[in-house]
Amino acid sequence: MEIPRPSVVSLFTCGMGLDIGFEKAGFSTRYANDITRFACETIRTNKPDVSCDEGDITDIASAEILKRASLRRGQVDVIIGGPPCQSFSTAGRRRGFNDKRGFALLQYLRIINDLRPNFFVFENVPGIVSAAKKHVSFYDRMTDSSKITKAQKYGSLFEEVIAEFHKISGYKIEWRLLNAADYGVPQKRKRFILIGSKSTDPSLVFTEIENSARFADPKNADKLGKKLWKTLKDALEGLDDTEKEQVNFPRWGKYLKHIPPGGCWVDLPTRLKKIAMGGAADSSDPRKKGKQGGRRGFYRRLSWNAPAPTLVTSPTQLGSCICHPDEDRPLTVKEYSRIQGFPDSWNFVGSTSQKYRMIGEAVPVELAKTIAAAIKKHM
């Protein structure tokens, strides 16, 4: 008699990167939800047997999820999901629970409390750890830190997030920041991972995960006895990408011809730097001068011999440019997908920009598989 695969309820599923990793580790996605039509069409196209709800999770009752998954309360093995992260991202204004996208986290917690899974996995951007309840600009922090209120302090919102997880009775929780590159992903991508369990100490799961990290930064790999991080060349080797589906850079893309592989705006000719950088160039404002950081994402060209940087939801944003190593173009959808670990046969449905978004928001498949395998071992 065939033993059923452990069950997964997937929330905020998007392109299914987390789900594919769990399925590679022997799990079965029984239910998926996303608010966007293009993500749900992608799920239905690639996984027609998965029960998929399109819509705002706020409007979906927990009982309906169990019904669609053909499970009862307490029968769900794992709930996985990454509620929208823009409210906690360092790239935004970090409004947290004051933003509807931050409120989505509370809905995630509601469903965990109602379904009572054995485990749950919550993933998000690393910036959630330092998120403050009240936004204050970087330059104001640098000018006079003594004026920063308790609500404006780094981590004040994160304390509330963790407190919300602790309100779910009967679960132990642990969290870590994991770098996908350490797990064989050709991308330097850090993610916040929180694991909760009602039957196992999740710190044991994280020990299993961390012991599975077989790759390391080339600077330390020999000393640690690990393999070198995988590179962009490793990721794209043998890729058949005849369609070359991509977006194009805006007018500022003309400056990329001056950037060598692995370079960025600092490699521009001196006469072009201020013109190309515009308002992002160094300033005479005494609050900002010399405090703007490296801004190494501007006019960034990738290197064949290093992992890709974190893939974002669009490769054509000036501050997080993702340019091909040799050609003056962004990476294609297929190249993006390869780096994240999606199967070459995976069919993303939607516009080109929507496809980039699904891939950019995904958890790299190999990292997800490592997390899933560690959980399965402790079930």
User: What positions carry a catalytic annotation?
Assistant: 85
User: What's the rounded Cα separation, in Å, for the pair 131 and 129?
Assistant: 6
Paired with 10 in beta bridges are 32, 80
Q: Which amino acid is at 160?
A: E
Mark out the alpha helices in 200-351 (DSSP H runs): 202-211, 221-224, 232-236, 270-277, 333-340
In whole angstroms, how far apart are CA 31 and each of 41, 74, 167, 320, 365?
14, 15, 25, 34, 18
Side by side, the strands of the sheet bearing 190-197 are 51-54, 28-34, 7-11, 78-81, 119-124, 190-197, 172-179
Q: What are phi and psi of 264, to 5 degrees?
A: -155, -160
User: What's the rounded Cα separation, in Å, for the pair 246 and 329?
Assistant: 8
User: What's the rounded Cα separation, in Å, for the pair 119 and 117?
Assistant: 5
As given in the structure block, the two tokens for residue 162 are: 């963790």
Give CA torsion, residues 119, 120, 123, 129, to 10 deg: -90
* CB of 340 closer than 8 Å to CB of 236: no
Helix (H, G, I), strand (E, B) or coil at 191: strand
Give CA torsion, residues 26, 30, 31, 37, to 10 deg: 70
**Closest Cα to residue 16, out of 315, 337, 265?**
337
Angle between helix 352-360 and helix 37-46 axes, rounded to 10 deg:
80
> Exposed e or buried b for every residue in 265-276, given b needs 16+ CB within 10 A?
beebeeeebeeb
* CB of 371 closer than 8 Å to CB of 192: no
